[in-house]
């Protein structure tokens, strides 16, 4: 699990707990026979709208900077060409240096594929490989060892077996 995965797990887990408590609150409230002021609740909906908008704006402001887009290939990058075809990868060269950016220039010669880089069970980075265009994923590895490539876009019969490895060395 990556740091991002952990962030998702904690944030999602916490909001689900809040949601569950609120739901149980409504459930228990149906035992009560006290009348409600429906008009006041409807009026409060405006404030609820503002709260929701504020939360969404905050989430947007906190996350929009972390898109994978617009990373130009640095001058010192190691360029790796990645060929994708039903149902195999051709990664060349299959050995790169640690702590130096790698530009994976991916191309597909048939259908859509997904170039997904794994270290163990951690999905390190991914990019869709659309036929007819090149797609470049820039990634710097800070950990040496063998990385596995899986296909993360369904591409037909051999999709699950479409895998290869490359190595990050000192």
Partner 1 sequence: MRRLLARYLIASTVILLVSGFLGVLIRGSQAGVGKLDDNTWYALMTAHGLGAFVGWAGFAVMGLALWVLDELGYELRRAGRVLAQATWWLMVTGVAGVLISTIAMHFAGSWVFLYPLPFHGAQQWGRWATAVFSFSVLLAGLSIVTWCLAILHTVVGPTLHAVKSSLANRLGVALGLGYLWPKRFATNPTPVAYPVIPLTVIGIDMIIATLPLAVLLVEMIVQAFSPGVHVDPLLAKNVLWFFGHPVVYLLLFPAVAVYYYLVPKLAGRRLVAGNVIAISWAIAVIANVTVWAHHIYIDYPDHSHQATINVFMQPITFALVIPSALSLYSLGLTIYRSDWRWGVVETSLFLGLFSWLTAGLSGVVNATIAFDKVVHNTLWIVGHFHQMAIVNIGFVVFAGIYYVLPNVYDKPLWSEALGKWHIWLTFVGVTVNSGFWLWQGLNGAPRRFAELPSGYEASTRAALPFVAMIGFAQVLFVINMVQTLRGAERRVVTVPRDNLLYAVEGMITFLAIILAVGAGAAGFFLGRATAEHSSGGSGVTTSKTTTAQAAPSPGRAIFASAGCGGCHTLVAAGAHGTVGPNLDAAKPPLALVVDRVTHGKGAMPSFQGQLSALQIRTVATYVAAATAR
β pairing state of 122-129 and 95-97: unpaired
Q: Is 48 in the site for partner 1 (CB under 8 A)?
A: yes
Min CB(164)–partner 1 separation in Å: 5
Q: Is 144 in the site for partner 1 (CB under 8 A)?
A: no
Query: Is the Cβ–Cβ distance between 48 and 41 less than 8 Å?
Result: no
Distance CA 106, CA 90 (A): 10
Q: Is 141 in the site for partner 1 (CB under 8 A)?
A: no
Distance CA 102, CA 105 (A): 9
Q: Is 142 in the site for partner 1 (CB under 8 A)?
A: no
Q: Is 155 in the site for partner 1 (CB under 8 A)?
A: yes
Min CB(48)–partner 1 separation in Å: 5
Q: Is 8 in the site for partner 1 (CB under 8 A)?
A: yes
Q: Is 15 in the site for partner 1 (CB under 8 A)?
A: yes
Subset of residues 68 to 97 that bind partner 1, contact rule: CB under 8 A = 68-70, 83, 85-94
Q: Which helix (H) or strand (E) holds 123?
A: strand 122-129
Q: How far is CA 48 from CA 16, 59, 96, in A?
A: 18, 17, 52
Q: Is 136 in the site for partner 1 (CB under 8 A)?
A: yes
């Amino acid at each position: 699990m990556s740091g991002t995965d952990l962030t998702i797990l904690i944030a999602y887990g916490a909001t689900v707990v809040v949601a569950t408590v609120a739901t149980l609150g409504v459930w228990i409230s149906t035992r009560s026979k006290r009348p409600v002021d429906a008009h006041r609740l409807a009026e409060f909906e405006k404030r609820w709208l503002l709260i929701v908008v504020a939360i969404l704006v905050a989430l947007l402001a906190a996350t929009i900077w972390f898109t994978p887009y617009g990373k130009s290939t640095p001058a010192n990058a190691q360029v790796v060409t990645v060929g994708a075809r039903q149902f195999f990868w051709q990664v060349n060269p299959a050995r790169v240096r640690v702590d130096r950016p790698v530009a994976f220039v991916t191309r597909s010669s048939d259908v859509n594929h997904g170039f997904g880089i794994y270290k163990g069970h951690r999905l390190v980075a991914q990019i869709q490989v659309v036929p007819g265009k090149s797609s470049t994923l820039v990634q710097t590895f800070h950990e040496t060892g063998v990385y596995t490539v899986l296909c993360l876009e369904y591409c037909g019969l051999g999709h699950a077996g479409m895998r290869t490895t490359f190595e990050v060395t000192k």
